[in-house]
Amino acid sequence: MALSLHAKVLFAVLMILGTRASQSMSRPIMDEEAIVQKHEKWMAHHGRNYQDNEEKERRFQIFKTNLEYIENFNNNATNKTYKLSLNVFADLTDEEFFATYAGFRVPSLPKTNKTTQFKYADQADEAPESIDWREKGVVTSVKDQHHCGCCWAFSAVGAVEGIIRDGVSLSAQQLVDCVSNNYGCNGGTMVNAFEYIIQNQGLASEENYPYTEMQGMCTESNSVAKITGYENVPSNNENALKLAVANQPVSVAIDAYGQSFKLYSGGVFNGDCGTQLTHAVTVVGYGVSSEDGSKYWLIKNSWGDYWGENGYMRLQRDVDAMEGLCGIAMQASYPTVN
């Protein structure tokens, strides 16, 4: 049947609108000069300097790619409860970032000093709906591991600080230098750190054994915090993790690979991540978002307070997968004291 004149006109208008919309979606988010200016301001803000113009151009192209990803995500992502931003990592590729700022290594052998039962198993009826250990005064300030892949040390320190509860910031550097069966800035595990603290009969304060961003010689220092053991949370069990966190901060391994994780700036993270455990953090609480009712884990990271929500991430919890989002429930442990 032939189209009427009115139908032909309407069809033509719709075609034009559709073409314009398509062109708008494919058009760059801003012109090149505007991106150059944004890069310059970003460099000044973060004190970034490059060795030559070739390096600067390479970093600019990476920055541009990350900026386009951020703008497209923030403007177009659906069913996402978080936002991204141009943080200090915006001129790094995912591969560069991953190689530098991760550092968890999956343990190859079971340990012997851990306790054999989950002591919080019978406390399901006692776990509060939410808890934030920062409000209890047992979480110290956010640290920055910089270019040393020792997230495992900061994760372990955060858990020990959470059980000692005297507000003293403990030494991650001592763990980097002295845990012989880890790899310093090239990765390690929290259970090896706990083993060392037990055998060493304590850990020094950060003030007496400060962080240097590199592995050095192990030196003796007065201990200010002692633990007597540690325990693993039953794996692939978010409810067990909740019971543990209800009682104390917990060291966990997660999958932190990807652009969204790298550029996360706030909200409840429900991004794309797998279960390849690559990074270590400390869970210091859990709760429910006032923005949209999403349940989350409160994660203390070691990438400085310029990442995420002043150094923290709210990671979605109670997901369908047994291991939790980003594998958070796969490997978790906490120190114990008598």
Domain assignments of the chain as residue spans, ordered by start: 97-336
Is pLDDT at 139 greater than 90 in this prediction?
A: yes
Q: Which of 151, 185, 273, 326 is catalytic?
A: 151
Active-site residue, 301 included:
yes
| pLDDT given for residue 28 in this prediction | 53
pLDDT tens, residue by residue, 101-116? 988 987 764 444 454 5
Q: Which of 182, 232, 270, 301 is catalytic?
A: 301
Active-site residue, 45 included:
no
pLDDT tens, residue by residue, 144-199? 999 999 999 999 999 999 999 999 999 999 999 999 999 999 999 999 999 999 99
Sort 285 into a burial class: Cβ within 10 Å, 0-12 / 13-18 / 19+: buried
Contacts of 225 (CB under 8 A, 6+ apart): 160, 161, 164, 166, 168, 170, 197, 202, 203, 205
Lowest mean pLDDT among 61-75, 104-118, 181-195, 267-281: 104-118
% pLDDT > 90, the chain = 79
- Tell me the average pLDDT across 68-91: 95
Active-site residue, 150 included:
no
Which amino acid belongs to residue 5? L
| pLDDT given for residue 272 in this prediction | 86
| pLDDT given for residue 261 in this prediction | 96
Q: In the Cβ-directed half-sphere of 19, how many Cα atoms lie within 13 Å?
A: 6
pTM score, two decimals?
0.89
By C-alpha distance, which of 162, 191, 193, 161 is closest to 177?
Answer: 193
How far from 190 is each of 77, 104, 143, 285, CA to CA, in Å? Answer: 35, 8, 17, 19
- CATH class in words for 97-336: alpha beta
Contact predicate 283/331, CB 8 Å: no
